């Protein structure tokens, strides 16, 4: 019994990590109708900045702060330099460019920082164990869940209670009408890329801390899974995306145990995606936006 | 011919077959597929398995074509329900699913792949010539299809599904035919590859290959058979030409994708057309 609870907990942790990744991705889709695959490069970038700054300054907190700020800048630069000029073309043009950027950045990390990856010089957290209702969890796992809950709650408050947040949601659901009400759609896009990228960097840095390992290809499979999640959630739909993140985390966690002999972890995730899409072609969340 | 030249020629032929067949699905019919390598792999594994079981080469190749084509019909059915980005992500899923499945099958060699695939009896130069002949036939077929009534139907579906349906074009049938035709050719390419190398591993048919094929289509200019064939040859030769920078191969590939998309979103065919228009304008 406890074993299954353990699996559920593991699934939950992955679900939280996916949620941090997927929120930015689904909002980019909602705003621009672009599948922003290079989001995974931002995730890996965040992990690299975190580990390098943390090792340089000796403070993991400083590493995380630097990662989020640097990733926000990177996200805005990607929008300005790559996506904005391509908005008038069919969406696959931006998507191929995005895949190109992911491949380019991944290989760039490998060349710049080596194939073996980097580790945190001083990282006691993954081995600090806590007993919690019979479960043994480490500090980083708790931090991942806390980070997801805090960030997503703040995001929810921001998008429902502040003027800027409401303008953001309005632009996601109907850009021309939002613009006619005086919302600056371009500023909203920058805001969107900044916040989404900062959250992706946070997820990357946390996973780097959890495994105490940051490597060039860490974003590769996560990127496509995040795509699967936003499709499952019904592209552009925030609630659907959050639900899909947690569900996929759990499906993978249990799936690896029950069908792991026939399929690997990634294949299970995509099999689940295909099965859901055949029943519900618009995903779990339907076609509502934001 | 040196062994090196033979193998480069064979790989060029296979990539031309794959890119041109993907162009039928994506360029002609507008169905964005990022899972083409899965059908290529299905063909290779089916042919290798049949050959291992003692089937003669033509029969084994046929098995590859049929298995890949059948899988193509299945994914084609998915395209009837899913549109645009939903279909793109589903086909990404197909790519990962195929590799994830093969990796765990002991009867397909699992991680180690299938080795000692029986020879086709043609020798490696004969194999390469067969592959080139098939590549030329694929280009000819693609040009023919594009000019036929079927090509017209494909383009109508690709341009605007709903309008095509309104004027009485059977959208579903055209999509299924496009998928079946394109994936069957990919299956043939897979079978030929299996006979040529006599050794296949799952990673040869992974997602990055699907992306490379899509890059050939987009860089060549979606819908243009000749543009796509040229891009396939160029992108296959590129790593050979820049061999001195072999360590930076992926970096260059990624950078090139970004730059081409950023500055020439219409691909080679788009550039060619622009040059033609300019020349006529003078």
Show me where the domains of chain B are located.
3-281
Q: Which CATH number fits domain B3-281: 2.60.40, 3.30.160, 1.10.3470, 1.10.150?
A: 1.10.3470
Instruction: Check: CB of residue B196 under 8 Å from CB of residue B66.
Output: no
Q: Concatenated DSSP letters for A60-107?
A: HHHHHHHHHHHHHHHHHHHIIIIIGGGTTS-HHHHHHHHHHHHHHHHH
Of B218, B254, B261, Cβ closest to residue A103: B254
Cβ-Cβ contacts under 8 Å for B277 (sequence gap 6 or more) = none
Q: Which of B265, B266, B267, B269 to probe by mutation at the A interface, max A CB count within 10 Å?
A: B265
Question: For residue B243, what pLDDT is reported?
Answer: 63
The domains found in chain A, sorted by start residue, are: 2-279 (1.10.3470)
Q: Given a cut of 90, is residue B169 above it in pLDDT?
A: no
Residues in chain A predicted with pLDDT less than 50, given as ranges, are 287-290
From residue B9, give the alpha-carbon distance in Å to each of A17, B45, B233, B241: 45, 22, 9, 14
Q: What ipTM does this complex have?
A: 0.80
pLDDT in tens, A231-242: 888 777 778 888
Helix (H), strand (E) at residue A135: strand A135-138
Q: What pLDDT sits at residue A1? A: 65
Best residue in B79, B91, B97 for a mutation probing chain A (most A CBs within 10 Å)? B97
Neighbours of B203 (CB within 10 A): 15
Q: Look over chain B and give the mean of its residue pLDDT values, rounded to a whole number.
A: 85
> Residues near B64 by Cβ (< 8 Å), separated by ≥ 6?
B42, B43, B44, B46, B47, B50, B187, B188, B190, B191, B194
Helix-strand-coil percent breakdown of chain A, rounded to 5? 75, 5, 20
Nearest CB among A86, A105, A231 relative to B89 is that of A231
How far away is chain A from the Cα of B227, in angstroms, using its nearest Cα? Answer: 16
- The predicted structure's pLDDT at residue B245: 64
> What is the reported pLDDT for A77?
93
The sign of the CA dihedral A255, A257, A262, A266 is: positive
Task: Answer whether residue B180 shows pLDDT above 90.
Answer: yes
Q: Render pLDDT for A184-232 as a digit per residue (tens, 0 to 9).
A: 888 888 988 999 999 999 999 998 888 888 888 888 778 788 888 888 8
Q: Can you read off the two tokens belonging to residue A203?
A: 């997820």
């Amino acid at each position: 019994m406890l074993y299954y609870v353990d699996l559920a907990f593991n699934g939950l942790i992955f679900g939280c990590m996916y949620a941090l990744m997927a929120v930015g991705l689904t909002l980019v889709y909602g705003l621009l109708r672009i599948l922003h695959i290079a989001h995974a490069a931002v995730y890996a970038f965040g992990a690299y900045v975190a580990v390098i700054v943390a090792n340089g300054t000796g403070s993991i907190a400083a590493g995380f702060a630097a990662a989020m700020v640097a990733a926000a800048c990177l996200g805005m630069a990607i929008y300005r330099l790559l996506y904005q000029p391509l908005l008038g073309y069919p969406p696959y043009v931006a998507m191929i460019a995005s895949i190109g950027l992911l491949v380019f950045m991944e290989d760039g990390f490998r060349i710049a920082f080596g194939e073996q990856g980097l580790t945190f010089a001083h990282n006691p957290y993954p081995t600090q164990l806590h007993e919690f209702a019979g479960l043994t969890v480490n500090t980083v796992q708790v931090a991942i869940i806390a980070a997801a809950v805090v960030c997503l709650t703040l995001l929810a408050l921001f998008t429902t209670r502040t003027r800027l947040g409401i303008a953001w949601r309005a632009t996601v659901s109907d850009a021309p009408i939002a613009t006619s009400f005086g919302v600056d759609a371009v500023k909203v896009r920058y805001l969107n890329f900044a916040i989404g990228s900062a959250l992706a960097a946070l997820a990357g840095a946390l996973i780097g801390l959890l495994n105490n390992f940051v490597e060039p290809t860490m974003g590769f499979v996560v990127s496509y899974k995040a795509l699967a999640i936003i499709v499952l959630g019904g592209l552009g739909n925030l609630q659907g995306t959050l639900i899909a993140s947690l569900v996929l985390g759990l499906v993978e966690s249990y799936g690896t145990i029950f069908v792991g002999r026939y399929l690997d972890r990634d294949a299970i995730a995509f099999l689940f995606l295909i099965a859901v899409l055949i029943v519900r072609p618009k995903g779990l969340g339907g076609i509502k936006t934001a | 011919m040196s062994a090196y030249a033979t193998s480069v020629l064979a790989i060029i032929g296979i990539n031309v077959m794959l890119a041109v067949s993907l162009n039928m699905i994506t360029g002609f019919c507008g169905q964005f597929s990022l899972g083409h390598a899965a059908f290529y792999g299905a063909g290779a594994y089916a042919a290798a398995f049949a050959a291992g079981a003692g089937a003669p080469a033509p029969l084994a190749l046929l098995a590859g074509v049929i298995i890949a084509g059948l899988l193509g019909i299945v994914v084609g059915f998915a395209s009837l329900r899913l549109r645009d980005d939903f279909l793109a992500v589903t086909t990404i899923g197909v790519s990962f699913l195929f590799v994830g499945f093969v990796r765990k099958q002991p009867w397909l060699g699992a991680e180690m792949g299938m080795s000692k695939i029986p020879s086709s009896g043609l020798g490696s130069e004969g194999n390469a010539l067969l592959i080139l002949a098939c590549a030329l036939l694929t280009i000819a077929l693609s040009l023919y299809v594009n000019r036929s009534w079927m090509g017209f139907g494909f383009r109508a579906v690709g341009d605007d599904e709903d309008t095509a349906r309104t004027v009485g074009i059977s959208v579903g049938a055209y999509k299924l035919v496009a998928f079946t035709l394109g994936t069957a050719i990919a299956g043939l390419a897979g079978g030929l590859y299996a006979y040529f190398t006599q050794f296949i591993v799952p990673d040869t048919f992974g997602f990055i290959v699907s992306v490379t094929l899509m890059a050939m289509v987009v860089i060549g200019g979606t819908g243009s058979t000749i543009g796509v064939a040229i891009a396939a040859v160029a992108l296959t030769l590129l790593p050979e030409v820049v061999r001195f920078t072999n360590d930076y191969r992926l970096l260059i590939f990624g950078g090139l994708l970004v730059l081409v998309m950023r500055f020439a979103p219409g691909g080679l065919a788009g550039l060619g057309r622009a040059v033609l228009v300019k020349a006529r304008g003078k």
